[in-house]
Amino acid sequence: MGYTNLERMLSNAKVEKYAVGAFNIVDYSTTRAVIKVAEKKKSPVIIQTSTKTVKFYGYKHIVSWVKTLTGDMVIPVALHLDHCNDIDIIEKCIDAGWSSVMIDASSYPLEENIRMSREVVEMARPKNVTVEGELGSILGVEDDLILTEHDSHLADVESCVRYLKETGVDVLAPAIGTAHGVYIKTPNIDFGLLKEIAEKTNIPLAIHGGTGLSPDMFKKCIESGGVKVNISTNIKHLFKDALEEYFEASTDYEPIKAIQHLETRVMEGVGDLIESFGSANRA
């Protein structure tokens, strides 16, 4: 299948009861590592980019990385824009070749969230680009947005049904008690809410805040209807820890060796998550 959007990838996951990892890359090396281990595991995979990453590297460069690395691969690989409420940036990603985008207008009133999401769907659909939307407010840090426990709130089923009906988004990220960043205590995930939303909407659901969840929590999320799991903070930690580990143990100044070590560590971490999500040998 190679380079694709989320439609068929997540539809298969929904039917066969597994999840696809969406890994927030930070550079070319982490992109390559994620794609290499996905190919090794014969797993579909989502290369995910934050708005901050897109602004830093530029639109065309990131698309070029993913399409070049994907090449003639059989495994499905999607390039997805993570949380973004800037319609201009979303449009530029669509025009540059992203295969999927997320409009996150969840901080706005429902009516405005619906309006903005519908606008993105209308610009994405003619180019065969899938769209993810969000309802509720997910705790934690995402790019420069910090959401405290006081400000966060879970999605409600009726709003989810209305939102999907009036926007036509392909994937929904409902707030169910997970959080972006590092968990300082065990998250109180509402698996019942996730299951009810899955049953009432019959649409692929995304689980945000995957870093730090246990294999058992992943299993329960998948059993309750989650088919896309976002992993961001974990990749950042692998990046930092791998380079520190290498230079603390090495006396040379050879950057290529450090990058090779980094890629190995990222492949190990992502490979373990692919196994936890049940997506290995699903491509």
DSSP 91-118: HHHHHHT-SEEEE--TTS-HHHHHHHHH
Q: In this predicted structure, what is the pLDDT of residue 122?
A: 98
Q: Which two tokens stand for residue 94?
A: 């669509």
Q: Of these residues, 27, 82, 170, 272, which one is catalytic? A: 82
For 103, phi then psi, to 5°, come to: -100, 115
Q: In this predicted structure, what is the pLDDT of residue 154?
A: 84
Q: In this predicted structure, what is the pLDDT of residue 149?
A: 45
Strands of 77-225 (E only): list them: 77-81, 100-103, 130-135, 139-142, 145-147, 171-174, 179-180, 205-207
Compute how many other C-beta atoms are within 10 angstroms of the C-beta atom of residue 161: 14
**Contact 204/180 with Cβ under 8 angstroms?**
no
For residue 25, what are the CA distances in angstroms to 36, 102, 239?
13, 16, 10
Q: In this predicted structure, what is the pLDDT of residue 213?
A: 87
**Which CATH code for domain 6-277?**
3.20.20.70
Collect the ranges in the chain with pLDDT lower than 50.
140-142, 145-151, 183
Mean pLDDT of all residues in the chain? Answer: 92
- Whether 82 sits among the annotated catalytic residues: the reply is yes
Task: Tell me the whole-structure pTM to 2 decimals.
Answer: 0.92
For residue 10, what are the CA distances in angstroms to 7, 54, 283?
6, 24, 12
Q: In this predicted structure, what is the pLDDT of residue 181?
A: 59
Domains in the chain: boundaries:
6-277
